[in-house]
Amino acid sequence: MEPLSGEALDALLRGFLAEDVGRCDVTTDATVPRGTRSVGELVAKSECVVSGLPVARRVFELLDPGLAWSHEAPAGSAVSPPAVLGRLAGRARSILTAERVALNLLQRMCGIATQTRRFVDAVAGTGCQILDTRKTAPGLRPFDRQAVRDGGGRNHRYDLTEMVLIKDNHRRLAGGVAQAIAAARSSAPEGTPIEVEIESEKDLSDALAAGAERILIDNQPPDIVARWCAAAKTASRAGRPIFVEASGNMRLETVRAYALAGVDAVSVGSLTHSVAAADVSLELSPG
């Protein structure tokens, strides 16, 4: 589901609300008089890159279609606390009931965008892309991928349909790199990109001999990546353009060394599998 809009988005958000609310919001229903109006601000209490405000807004709107929304901070903008990300006004009961789902998504998306921006800044000037992975919590992939884009990164394959990615288990079960590439070429739909993960000199030579067009160098130090990347680029100069990606426990303090090794992209699983949520709160008052 990309982009995040329409009925597909609403269906996901309604499911999230149903999970959180259950039969009713017993606290709000007991303490807030029916018909009470409220105004509020979404406030960033940590430095962050903005992502997810349209999603948060839609969560509130699903419970209060008459919600008034203003002052939405632009996606991808960097803010410092205390920054107002958005203002809202509407039925107090609806706002309170939607609060947790809206904030959970907003905090997660801002957290992902913030960490992505750090990686993008770390490789600035090298020409290397920062990619996400499929290491996302089930149900949250569209939100995570949007957050990566808002942080300046790019998306890898959305699902298993979009690309053939031959990893270690595929290689072993197929009988080797060459056999796996040949099988993918004969069976995958025409035009499907084929990428092969390599972990040794033999994997590399087999992949190049088989005419691989995309290579993923996994779990290697920067000096090995530089040598293998140079070999791949040499093959590219012989007439086969080869896209080279590096992956494997990428960290902020080391990612620039991988970018300088000459790769086209670095994929970073921690962007989405180890999210540090941004600190964002909803501050309400009668209105």
List residues with catalytic annotation: 100, 135, 167, 197, 218
DSSP string, 136-184: --TT-HHHHHHHHHHTT-B---SSTTS-EEE-HHHHHHHTSHHHHHHHH
Edge to edge, the sheet with strand 265-267 lists 129-131, 265-267, 243-247, 214-218, 194-198, 164-166
**Phi-psi category of residue 89: left, alpha or beta, with phi > 0 → left and psi -120 to 50 → alpha:** beta
- Amino acid identity for residue 177 in this structure: V
Tell me how far apart the alpha carbons of residues 140 and 186 are, in angstroms, rounded to a whole number.
33
- H helix or E strand, kind and range, residue 38: strand 37-44
Tell me how far apart the alpha carbons of residues 195 and 126 are, in angstroms, rounded to a whole number.
22
Residue in the structure block whose two tokens are 């300088």: 260
Tell me how far apart the alpha carbons of residues 173 and 194 are, in angstroms, rounded to a whole number.
17
Torsion from C-alpha of 13, 119, 270, 172, nearest 10 degrees: 120
Who contacts 119 (Cβ-Cβ below 8 Å, separation ≥6)?
130, 153, 250, 252, 255, 266, 268, 271
SS3 135: coil
Tell me how far apart the alpha carbons of residues 164 and 266 are, in angstroms, rounded to a whole number.
18
Looking from the CA of 159 toward its CB, the CA atoms found within 13 Å total 8
Q: Identify the bridge partners of residue 48 per DSSP, sorted by sequence position.
A: 79
